[in-house]
């Protein structure tokens, strides 16, 4: 098959790992940098150019769309969908999962447990904060990644002043219950084709509550409980992601979903667990093409 990775970083670990896995299985692999693509509609049909050359022989793509490139990246994926190219994550699923509020709405509607969360566009901040029983809250920018845009407001006064600051700067955010009992740990499960293929536990570095590896957190492999596995698979299914990273917090009431990432980094999880996730992604594409 001709398989393209949509990525701005040809030399990034994840891209290289996917290129290798595809080559090992005798696929023709290439990297398409979205910033070098141009999309057009000609005589009613979608056309894709890469560095001014027509691309019309792709069978499948693996989008690795960065948060700063969501609009164009998802547009490119939608274009490929219209060209009948198989994609492991659709444009719609990228957009839905990238917006933390939209994904919480969809997940909770489907019965997937998520922390108590309020959209930051609130009429009466004091009333909303009172509903969190004056406990610490998390304030989260809707499109943040890598732990940037996640704030722990430990007191009522800091929550109030931070919310006012976010509101006056026009930033979209949510107010969320702080799951203190997770003690700076979260679980990252990788779901490929409806199966959990790897999982790790991430621990924040001391002095931080955010366990993102980009924030200096550490990680170890872990076996998920049946309940954790079930909600990870359900989350991927609800957001229609063929490949995703699902972040789970272990709360007192049971596991809750924190976010679902349509472009999970592969370096941390492959090195931590020893699982060749790229190979799982390639074999998932092969299975889909045989359907
Ligand atoms: N409600 C919460 N309670 C406790 N810890 C949280 C909560 N929300 C986020 N965190 C911590 O912050 C990290 C980053 O939050 P997350 O929502 O995944 O944003 P990002 O997209 O930036 O990774 C999580 O991995 C977790 O360690
Ligand atoms: Mg996260």
Intra-chain end-to-end CA distance of the chain, in Å: 14
So what's the pLDDT on residue 246?
98
How confident is the prediction along the chain (291 residues), in pLDDT tens digits per residue? 999 999 999 999 999 999 999 999 999 999 999 999 999 999 999 999 999 999 999 999 999 998 888 999 999 999 999 999 999 999 999 999 999 999 999 999 999 999 999 999 878 888 999 999 979 999 999 878 888 899 999 999 999 999 999 999 999 999 999 999 998 999 999 999 999 999 999 999 988 889 888 888 899 999 999 999 999 999 999 999 999 999 999 999 999 999 999 999 999 999 999 999 999 999 999 999 877
CATH code for the structural domain at 117-178: 3.30.1490.20
> Within 13 Å and on the Cβ side, how many CA atoms surround 153?
25
Give domain 2-89's CATH architecture: 3-Layer(aba) Sandwich (3.40)
pLDDT given at position 290 = 79
| pLDDT at res. 2 | 98
What pLDDT, on the 0 to 100 scale, is given for residue 71?
A: 93
Residue whose CA lies nearest to ligand 1 atom number 1? 178
Pocket test for ligand 1, best of 107, 186, 260 (most atoms within 8 A of CB): 186
- Residue 202 · residue 188 · CB < 8 Å: yes
- Point out the ligand nearest to the CA of residue 186: 1
Give distance in angstroms: CA of 268 to centre of ligand 2. Answer: 13
Query: If you take atom 12 of ligand 1, which residue's CA is the nearest one?
Result: 210
Most distant CA atoms of the chain, gap in Å: 60
Closest Cα to atom 21 of ligand 1: 145
Q: Which atom in ligand 1 lies closest to the alpha carbon of residue 247?
A: 18
Helix (H) or strand (E) holding 42: strand 37-42
pLDDT at position 144: 81
- The edge-to-edge listing of strands for the beta sheet with 60-63 is 28-32, 2-6, 60-63, 86-87
Q: How close is the Cα of 23 to the center of ligand 2, in Å?
A: 30
Sorted by where each begins, the domain ranges of the chain are 2-89, 96-111+182-289, 117-178
Instruction: Concatenate the DSSP letters of all residues of 204-245 into one string.
Output: PPTT-S---GGGT-EEEE-PPPHHHHHHHHHHHHHTTBSEEE
* Å from CA of 264 to ligand 1 middle: 15
Atom of ligand 1 minimally distant from the CA of 148: 22
Residue among 104, 135, 147 whose CB has most ligand 1 atoms within 8 A, to mutate:
147
CATH of domain 96-111+182-289: 3.30.470.20
Q: Closest residue (by CA) to atom 24 of ligand 1?
A: 210
């Amino acid at each position: 098959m001709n398989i393209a990775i949509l990525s701005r970083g040809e030399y990034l670990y994840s891209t290289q790992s996917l290129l290798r896995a595809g080559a090992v299985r005798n696929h023709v692999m290439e990297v398409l940098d979205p910033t070098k693509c141009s999309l057009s509609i000609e005589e009613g049909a979608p056309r894709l150019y890469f560095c001014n050359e027509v691309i019309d022989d792709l069978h499948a793509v693996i989008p690795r769309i960065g948060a700063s490139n969501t609009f164009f990246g998802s547009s490119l994926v939608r274009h490929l969908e219209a060209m009948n190219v198989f994609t492991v994550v659709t444009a719609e699923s990228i957009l839905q999962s990238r917006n933390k509020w939209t994904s919480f709405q969809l997940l909770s509607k489907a019965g997937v447990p998520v922390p108590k969360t309020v959209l930051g566009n609130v009429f009466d901040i004091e009333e909303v904060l009172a509903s969190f029983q004056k406990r610490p809250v998390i304030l989260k920018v809707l499109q943040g990644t890598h732990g940037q845009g996640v704030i722990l407001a430990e007191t009522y006064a800091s929550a109030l002043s931070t919310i006012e600051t976010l509101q006056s700067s026009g930033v979209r955010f949510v107010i969320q219950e702080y799951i203190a009992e997770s003690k700076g740990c979260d679980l990252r499960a990788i779901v490929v084709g409806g199966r959990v293929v790897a999982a790790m536990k991430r621990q924040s570095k001391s002095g931080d509550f955010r366990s993102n590896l980009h924030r200096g957190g550490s990680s170890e492999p872990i076996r998920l409980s049946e309940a954790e596995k079930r909600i990870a698979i359900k989350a991927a299914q609800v957001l229609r992601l063929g490949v995703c990273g699902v972040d789970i917090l272990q709360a007192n009431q049971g596991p809750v979903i924190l976010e679902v990432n349509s472009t999970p980094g592969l370096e941390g999880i492959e090195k931590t667990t020893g699982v060749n996730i790229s190979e799982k992604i390639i074999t998932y594409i092969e299975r889909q093409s045989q359907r």
